[in-house]
Amino acid sequence: MTAAATPIRRRLMSVLLLTSGAVMLTTSAAFCAYDFLTYRQQTANNLATLGAAIAANSTAALAFQNPDDAREVLSALKADNHIVNATLYTPAGEPFASYPATSHGVRTAASLQDGYRFAGGYLIGVQPVVQGERRMGTLYLKADLSALHQRLQSFGLIAALVMAVTCAIAYLLSNRLQRQISQPILALTRTVGDISTRRDYTLRALRPHGHELGQLADAFNNLLVQVEGAQRRLHSQLGRLDLLHRITRAIGERQDPPSIFQVLLRNLEDELPVDFGCIGLYDPAAADAIAIVTIGTGSRRFSQVLEINDQLRVPIDQNGLARCVSGELVYEPDVGAIGFPFPQRFARAGIFSLVLAPLLLQKRVFGVLVVARRAPEAFSSSDCEFLRQLSEHVALATHQAQLYGALQQAYDELRQSQHTIMQQERLRALGQMASGIAHDINNAISPIALYTESLLEREPGLSDRARNYLTTIRRAIEDVAQTVARMREFYRSREPDLSLARVNLNRLVEQVIQLTRARWSDVPLQKGVVISLRTDLLSDLPDIMGSETEIRDALTNLVFNATDAMPEGGALTFRTRTSNPVDGEPLVHAEVSDTGVGMDEETRRRCLEPFYTTKGERGTGLGLAMVYGMIQRHSAELQIDSAVGQGTTVRLTFVPAQADLLTVKQPILKCEATCLRLLLVDDDPLLIKSVKDILEADGHTVVTADGGQRGIDTFQAAHRNGTPFALVITDLGMPYVDGRRVAAATKAESPETPVILMTGWGRRLIAENEIPPHVDRILSKPPKLAELRAALADLTSGEPSAAPAALRERTL
């Protein structure tokens, strides 16, 4: 400090001393010069006066040539000891008289100019001696300047003395005076030094007395105030930036808007902080209100007083929300002064500062961030700016979350679609395979079925045992046929027209128990798992109207699910009962219960969705969906009671059947009316033989053709030979020429001749309304005697109407 202080002190001192010294020097020099000049002039004037006097007194001496007199006159100069020489010259320039007497100033006055001048340290005067108008001669005077020099010396001495004294005084004064300037400056310097070392901008310089220094200190302090403010603002900005960063990062980690809002509000409550914060969503379609969706955790203590909850809809009127939803940040420094209901809520709760920040996305407001503080005017402009920026970030994050959600959903849907397509493809392949197998099986069992029926019908002499065996064979064949039919149901893409019939649920349950025994009993037992079966069936259960097959399939699926739900074993319970609601008819219920793992809420909610499965690759996700489809087609109800670990109960509720609406037609047992000439076309010799045998047993004449082309040829030949066929029975699937072409050829030859198409795919054709042209009837393999007879009767008697109904009855 001292080292730094010395220069300014010394400099101030030297400035003051130099100034005073220079002033003194200049003054003295000017004074001396003036005195020198005036004294010199005065000396010259004095000499001139003296010269004039001498000259005047010398005229007569010169005129009358009296050197003694002239010398006497000149001797008067003795009084002035500075006169070195005085000489009188005649007009001719010759010396006339001198003082001192023996020395002449110059040898001749001829070259002398009149006047007085300084030369060589002397004052030389040449004075004309004039009497009247006549020049009598010349006076030469020479005076030394020692007086002048003496005077100058004494003056210099005095000046030096005065200067010395002045400088001494100036030193003392300046030493004292400079402190008035240097000390405040040094103090200021110290303050600046302290500030820069400590970086403490709250320090202030002392205000010294004195105008400029005071102003300097004031200005410096003002600067400090500004710096301090700027630094505080900077700190606050940095803090804000950090907070913004943290909040942005926090909300960036969230992917759904509610959690983004929650994080945002918690951060605002803790960090900004605010006393209250909530977020409302704004739907431009319903532009009259803001729906509050999220309230900050810490803000909930105000919810009661504010009457703001998660479901509140705040109407938009003139309460600032209108401005906010137009995209403007609204700051109400004192809501107490605003008369509208929404601000008044806050005023009642003791919250006075309110900021509404719009959540803007692509210039459209989709929400409002509401933050509030208790004190009035509690938000600074930087707060507002911060909130504005924050709301932009939040809007962006929300938008991204929405985009993410939409993307996730699209992805899920895509995956599900892909899954569905794969499943469908799998089913289609399976179905095709099943269909092929079914076709072959149907073909294969057709002779068995036909002969068995024929034997039972036409051989009265059969022993009881044989009859019993044949009956068993017939039932087995029927079962095989139905199994094959059900197998094909798997890939059926469209439901056939539902043919309702009276169904006894108890009987169906029994059938299902038998059908699924392998699944719920045999397979688990192999793993040492025991599933006990319980049945609780109402004995006189009313029939219902429905599709036996579908209901059976549904129950089968339920058994499968129940079994799968009990990997550790348990109880499988079937229950049938009725209920009597107050208004209306009694309802019929069938329940399948297990004691397995049960379903959680999510699974319970989604379990009816197609392709939703909890079984992984083992499941198709179609079981319960099929059940649900059946329920809908039957106008029935489905109820699932389940909880995790509590097992599952699925209850199917049906409307009971009305009293006999349909009577089952009595099957036509034999050909009673006419015996017909028939053409039978097939490529399977066994089938041809069996059908031919059966029909011939009924009295018909049967001509067979092995293959489509032969059939057509035979038909044409017979028709042209005048022995036409009353009816053509043809197989559908044949090599080279199939049943369709046989039918077409037949109709081309004889449009009136009915054509019956027999097919292992028959059900499928019916289901898909694909009865080909030129075909009057389709019979599925294995053909039933009754069906065959009914079809023949219908088509040849000219009344074809009842056939489809009869056919449908047989579908089960």
Partner 1 sequence: MAALTARAAVGWVLSACILLLLMSCPVRGEVAPSEYRVKAVFLFNFAQFVEWPPESFKDASKPFVIGILGADPFEGELDAVVRGETVAKRPFVIERYHDVSDLQNCNILYISRPQIGHLPQILSALKGRSVLTVSDADRADQAGVMIRLINQNNRIRMQIDVGAARAGKLTISSKLLRPAEIVGDSRE
How many angstroms separate the first and last alpha carbons of the chain? 116
Nearer to partner 1, 134 or 665 (CB): 134
Q: How many residues bind partner 1 (CB under 8 A)?
A: 20
The answer to whether residue 134 forms part of the interface with partner 1 (CB under 8 A) is yes
**Token pair of 682 as six digits:** 């097939």
The answer to whether residue 94 forms part of the interface with partner 1 (CB under 8 A) is yes
Stretch that binds partner 1, among 125-133, 263-271, 447-455, 750-758 (CB under 8 A): 125-133
Question: C-beta of 125: minimal distance to partner 1 in Å?
Answer: 21
Contacts of 468 (CB under 8 A, 6+ apart): none
289 alpha-carbon distance from chain centroid: 24
Nearer to partner 1, 58 or 557 (CB): 58
H or E element, residue 259? helix 257-271
| DSSP code for 656 | B
Question: C-beta of 131: minimal distance to partner 1 in Å?
Answer: 5
Residues 655 and 585: beta-carbon distance below 8 Å: yes
The answer to whether residue 138 forms part of the interface with partner 1 (CB under 8 A) is no
The answer to whether residue 75 forms part of the interface with partner 1 (CB under 8 A) is no
Handedness of CA 163, 166, 172, 176 (dihedral sign): negative
| Burial group, residue 134, by CB count within 10 angstroms (0-12, 13-18, 19+) | exposed
Stretch that binds partner 1, among 88-96, 300-308, 323-331, 611-619 (CB under 8 A): 88-96
Question: C-beta of 58: minimal distance to partner 1 in Å?
Answer: 9
**Among 49, 65, 215, 658, which residue interacts with partner 1 (rule: CB under 8 A)?**
65
The answer to whether residue 186 forms part of the interface with partner 1 (CB under 8 A) is no
The answer to whether residue 64 forms part of the interface with partner 1 (CB under 8 A) is yes
H or E element, residue 709? helix 708-720
Nearer to partner 1, 62 or 785 (CB): 62
Nearer to partner 1, 127 or 780 (CB): 127
CA–CA separation, 679 and 746 (whole Å): 11
Query: Within 668-707, where are the H helices?
Result: 685-697
Prior bond of 782 cis (ω within 30°): yes
The answer to whether residue 103 forms part of the interface with partner 1 (CB under 8 A) is no
The answer to whether residue 96 forms part of the interface with partner 1 (CB under 8 A) is yes
Nearer to partner 1, 67 or 610 (CB): 67
Give the footprint of partner 1 on residues 156-175 (CB under 8 A): none
DSSP codes, 220-257: HHHHHHHHHHHHHHHHHHHHHHHHHHHHHHHHHT--SH
Helix (H, G, I), strand (E, B) or coil at 58: helix
**Among 27, 46, 57, 423, which residue interacts with partner 1 (rule: CB under 8 A)?**
57
Question: C-beta of 48: minimal distance to partner 1 in Å?
Answer: 20
Nearer to partner 1, 66 or 701 (CB): 66
**Among 32, 48, 56, 718, which residue interacts with partner 1 (rule: CB under 8 A)?**
56
Stretch that binds partner 1, among 131-139, 472-480, 545-553, 691-699 (CB under 8 A): 131-139
The answer to whether residue 131 forms part of the interface with partner 1 (CB under 8 A) is yes
Nearer to partner 1, 69 or 478 (CB): 69
Q: Are strands 531-536 and 570-579 parallel, antiparallel or unpaired?
A: parallel
The answer to whether residue 132 forms part of the interface with partner 1 (CB under 8 A) is yes
The answer to whether residue 89 forms part of the interface with partner 1 (CB under 8 A) is no
Nearer to partner 1, 58 or 595 (CB): 58
Nearer to partner 1, 70 or 387 (CB): 70
Closest by Cα among 757, 715, 765 to 739: 757
Phi-psi domain of 611 (left: phi exceeds 0; alpha: psi -120 through 50; beta: other): left
The answer to whether residue 76 forms part of the interface with partner 1 (CB under 8 A) is no
Q: Are strands 701-706 and 677-682 parallel, antiparallel or unpaired?
A: parallel
Nearer to partner 1, 73 or 263 (CB): 73
CA–CA separation, 484 and 443 (whole Å): 12
| Cβ count within 10 A of residue 206 | 11
Q: Are strands 353-361 and 330-332 parallel, antiparallel or unpaired?
A: antiparallel
Question: C-beta of 53: minimal distance to partner 1 in Å?
Answer: 12
Residues 389 and 240: beta-carbon distance below 8 Å: no
Nearer to partner 1, 63 or 406 (CB): 63
Stretch that binds partner 1, among 89-97, 283-291, 493-501, 680-688 (CB under 8 A): 89-97
Handedness of CA 150, 155, 156, 157 (dihedral sign): positive
Residues 383 and 422: beta-carbon distance below 8 Å: no
| DSSP code for 369 | E
304-323 footprint of partner 1 as x/- string (CB under 8 A): --------------------
Helix (H, G, I), strand (E, B) or coil at 360: strand
Stretch that binds partner 1, among 63-71, 293-301, 604-612, 713-721 (CB under 8 A): 63-71
**Among 17, 25, 48, 60, which residue interacts with partner 1 (rule: CB under 8 A)?**
60
Nearer to partner 1, 65 or 408 (CB): 65
Closest by Cα among 349, 403, 339, 350 to 375: 350
The answer to whether residue 63 forms part of the interface with partner 1 (CB under 8 A) is yes
| Cβ count within 10 A of residue 515 | 17
H or E element, residue 428? helix 381-458
Strand order in the sheet with 531-536: 531-536, 570-579, 587-593, 647-654, 637-643
Nearer to partner 1, 133 or 522 (CB): 133
**Token pair of 255 as six digits:** 């992917």
Nearer to partner 1, 90 or 416 (CB): 90
645-674 footprint of partner 1 as x/- string (CB under 8 A): ------------------------------
Please report, as a single letter, which amino acid is at residue 784: K
Nearer to partner 1, 60 or 462 (CB): 60
Closest by Cα among 255, 277, 275 to 264: 277
**Among 27, 46, 66, 259, which residue interacts with partner 1 (rule: CB under 8 A)?**
66
Question: C-beta of 145: minimal distance to partner 1 in Å?
Answer: 29
- CA neighbours closer than 13 Å in the CB half-sphere of residue 792: 33
Stretch that binds partner 1, among 58-66, 241-249, 434-442, 451-459 (CB under 8 A): 58-66
Question: C-beta of 46: minimal distance to partner 1 in Å?
Answer: 23
15-54 footprint of partner 1 as x/- string (CB under 8 A): ----------------------------------------
Residues 369 and 277: beta-carbon distance below 8 Å: yes
Length of the chain in residues, anyone? 812
Question: C-beta of 129: minimal distance to partner 1 in Å?
Answer: 11
SS3 content of the chain, % helix, strand, coil (to 5): 55, 20, 30
**Among 12, 51, 89, 95, which residue interacts with partner 1 (rule: CB under 8 A)?**
95
Closest by Cα among 439, 436, 509, 445 to 475: 445
Closest by Cα among 740, 744, 746, 735 to 758: 740
The answer to whether residue 105 forms part of the interface with partner 1 (CB under 8 A) is no
Which residue shows structure tokens 């006075």? 352
The answer to whether residue 442 forms part of the interface with partner 1 (CB under 8 A) is no
**Among 59, 85, 563, 759, which residue interacts with partner 1 (rule: CB under 8 A)?**
59
The answer to whether residue 610 forms part of the interface with partner 1 (CB under 8 A) is no
Summarize as ranges the residues that interact with partner 1 (CB under 8 A).
56-57, 59-61, 63-69, 73, 94-96, 131-134
